[in-house]
Structure 1
């Protein structure tokens, strides 16, 4: 059996089980938190703090798990990450309290390591399936996010806490799949840089805190100013430590590669609206025209179905990406995905009075989301050496997380600047948000213009990578 999954479809099938777990974990808690909060005594502020904690875990664990994978072996770290997610899901389901929800959500943050670590194994074991495999995995991820929320919401209709068990069986399946995966063959390199890890963790923590709470504090308030100073100083110190280290936590020299730099910037712009607007999208769909003056007046199940339709469009965009990229090239794909996202948000700005009109823009944004996630994850793999694969994908994941967080923060600020009756949001707040998201997505499209396509794929499916300096390879034994 091990030989059967060493390469090709068998390998992708096992990886798919792990990605399904990642999607379910990312999608099932969001619709449950209000009801769960009522049952266990967590108010709106407490729920916001839990969200902040999960965002912090995502930001911190992305570079840590990626680097540890490149140092100690992708399969070994993948097993640890999956075990963390499974344990966190079980803890939340068995005894939901404020403390267990906090600890469980931090453990679940290890899902951010799944894609970088899987990319490292896929590249070394089945490079000929790299592009197709990555696009399929992204499509499955998007479908799983939508399906996880729908299943959890349905289970919680009978009992508020029943939906908390949604992720547990998927965590068990993913853990079994992680132990069935073969080890990667890429050489390991480097040592762990603890001072850099501490500075990066504190700096990202200050930044995420500022982005999440800046709207409620006031962007010009003293706490926001202190948060901005702390984030700037800590991250500047981190960059200085990394540049002076022989074994950096994040090899910043990777960003000297203009192709990786453009890919990461494009990812940031695409995620800004496509992911940053997801929460506001649900609020708009649930708003009632007779009371708020806008919205669709949909219930929880209907909103979940719209979200599922969006991720289905994302699945179609993701799986179509490899064929399109072979025909038009990577540069054209970056331009197309950016323009498609901009077109979707422009459509929402102009046409949002009826559900069919709204769905046109929403589905365009969903398709653009699937395309950019598949394209940028694949490209971030191909522009570096195998020893830096997980770290390169991790940089891309970090750009995605920061783009989504900053997008959500700016959208929140725009909403706060357009208050509506009863503490809601006035209609112009949405118009401004859609317009800004369209502009940033168009900026992502423009970033594709200076991108230079690499050489065509060789027979084994690999592309020549840009050498990463200063690495001392060693055999991987994970």
Structure 2
């Protein structure tokens, strides 16, 4: 089963890596500003944040494999729609719906944890499997990034043909799940908490709408801040409803536990760097320093190489995660991984002028990122009751995507603003501001260090399976 799921994660990796070296080409194809590409990511991440909790809960209720198949079908249709989208809005809608793939990894972790209960140490087995899944994910991302960059140059002017490759991959992925992945043995049944879903969706949409108004009308727009404030206030009735509901979509009481709430906050902060920084890093590398005074001025193939090195570091981090957790503790592993992310992005602030400097920074951040991608859902599964593993692992991805969505909106505003002291772009240039890029790296570094600090609140023996004579820490 894990072998088939590795193939699924390879497809997820292709989706995450293939488009990155093509962002500038997509912007030129659609006739939009580089900073506007952030809105594709922001919209996709917000759709993911809305659907992942519901899909993860449905997986607990009716079977993780069924929901995995359904989400793959939606992703395949959306990926094919990108091939035929020639304007901003149609591309935005298709790109947003493609975000259903984000639920794959938490559903897979929940499926593995559910089927491993007869083993002596389900939590350790799940961590090992999670590391293998992330290796598949990053192998697919490397393959996607390299092939996307190469095909982008070989088939210049035929973007529709280049975009067909990931659509074919997702279609094949559906067949792999259908034929090779068994269903989880534990299902809760029941009905979906539709009221809770509506309340949380309303709150998140208000917050995102406010950020959108700030992007289009400027940070000084009062009604944008009002929308964000109303969105935050709308979380209050959602929490009250979930506390009263006998089978809530999000178990607020579970989130209060000392082993869960730092993991969820870490996932949110992790999303800022792992998801929010992708577009800024790609567009900075493609920016011509002879025109605006900053950037690397490289082609899509070199961007693919940089991404490939970053993803290799992520593979190393994912492989080391299980071993380091075994020789130390899962908690220490999480703290170390978050610290590496903070260090890697902080190094961008003084060192960003040469390709080798960017490469070294990405290696450091990549080690921590690979470990956290595997560690967060595995830690949530080990800390949650067996019948709530889908919800717990899904929430790590949901909070991660919310963090990435907010970061994409804020970073889009930063890159579009010519902040005082930034090198001015040439007339007609679509490049982002240098100070905007510096802000992106500072925020990503700070969130990494903050996540490491929060993880010190986790109990020292959390995420371990109980052994005879001991009590498991939950």
State the TM-score, normalized to the length of structure 2.
Answer: 0.87
C-alpha distance 274-116 of structure 1, shift in aligned 2 (>3 A): closer
- In structure 2, the gaps of 5 or more residues are 117-121
Q: SS at 2:457's partner residue?
A: coil
Q: SS at 1:348's partner residue?
A: coil
Q: Which of 421, 425, 450 is equivalent to 2:424?
A: 421
C-alpha distance 86-411 of structure 1, shift in aligned 2 (>3 A): closer
Deviates further, 414-423 or 227-236: 414-423
The aligned counterpart of 1:86 is 76
> Is 2:280 the partner of 1:280?
yes
In 2, Cα distance between equivalents of 1:372 and 1:304: 23
For each residue in 1:242-295, what CA deviation from the matched residue of structure 2 results, as whole angstroms up to 9, or x when unmatched? Answer: 222222121111111111101111222233234322221122222333332222
Q: Which of 115, 124, 144 is equivalent to 1:148?
A: 144
How many residue pairs are counted as aligned between the two chains? 453
C-alpha distance 399-364 of structure 1, shift in aligned 2 (>3 A): same
C-alpha distance 338-48 of structure 1, shift in aligned 2 (>3 A): closer
The aligned counterpart of 1:472 is none
> Is 2:8 the partner of 1:18?
yes
Q: CA deviation at 1:414?
A: 4.4
Deviates further, 418-427 or 144-153: 418-427
In 2, Cα distance between equivalents of 1:75 and 1:125: 12
Q: CA deviation at 1:60?
A: 0.9
C-alpha distance 406-135 of structure 1, shift in aligned 2 (>3 A): same
C-alpha distance 243-457 of structure 1, shift in aligned 2 (>3 A): closer
The aligned counterpart of 1:441 is 448
C-alpha distance 212-316 of structure 1, shift in aligned 2 (>3 A): farther
Q: CA deviation at 1:68?
A: 1.0
Deviates further, 377-386 or 440-449: 440-449
Q: CA deviation at 1:332?
A: 1.3
In 1, Cα distance between equivalents of 2:28 and 2:356: 34
- Please tell me the root mean square deviation across aligned C-alpha atoms, in Å: 2.7
In 2, Cα distance between equivalents of 1:215 and 1:240: 32
The aligned counterpart of 2:462 is 454
In 1, Cα distance between equivalents of 2:37 and 2:433: 24
In 1, Cα distance between equivalents of 2:463 and 2:44: 40
C-alpha distance 317-296 of structure 1, shift in aligned 2 (>3 A): same
Q: Where do residues 15-414 of structure 1 align in structure 2 (5 Å cutoff)?
A: 15-32=5-22, 35-36=25-26, 43-44=32-33, 50-93=40-83, 101-126=91-116, 127=122, 129-157=125-153, 158=155, 159-179=158-178, 180-414=180-414
Q: Does structure 2 retain, via aligned residues, the 8 Å contact 1:52–1:212?
A: no
Q: SS at 2:298's partner residue?
A: coil
In 2, Cα distance between equivalents of 1:196 and 1:265: 20
Deviates further, 213-222 or 376-385: 213-222
Q: SS at 2:219's partner residue?
A: coil
C-alpha distance 279-98 of structure 1, shift in aligned 2 (>3 A): closer
Q: Does structure 2 retain, via aligned residues, the 8 Å contact 1:153–1:163?
A: no
Q: Which runs of 4+ in 1 moved over 6 A?
A: none
The aligned counterpart of 1:7 is none
Deviates further, 48-57 or 396-405: 48-57
Q: Does structure 1 retain, via aligned residues, the 8 Å contact 2:20–2:282?
A: no
Q: Does structure 2 retain, via aligned residues, the 8 Å contact 1:69–1:76?
A: yes
Q: Does structure 1 retain, via aligned residues, the 8 Å contact 2:338–2:452?
A: yes
Q: CA deviation at 1:329?
A: 0.7
C-alpha distance 42-237 of structure 1, shift in aligned 2 (>3 A): farther
C-alpha distance 394-213 of structure 1, shift in aligned 2 (>3 A): farther
Q: SS at 1:351's partner residue?
A: coil
- In structure 1, the gaps of 5 or more residues are 1-10, 467-478
Q: Does structure 2 retain, via aligned residues, the 8 Å contact 1:334–1:445?
A: yes
In 2, Cα distance between equivalents of 1:75 and 1:57: 21
State the TM-score, normalized to the length of structure 1.
Answer: 0.86
C-alpha distance 236-290 of structure 1, shift in aligned 2 (>3 A): same
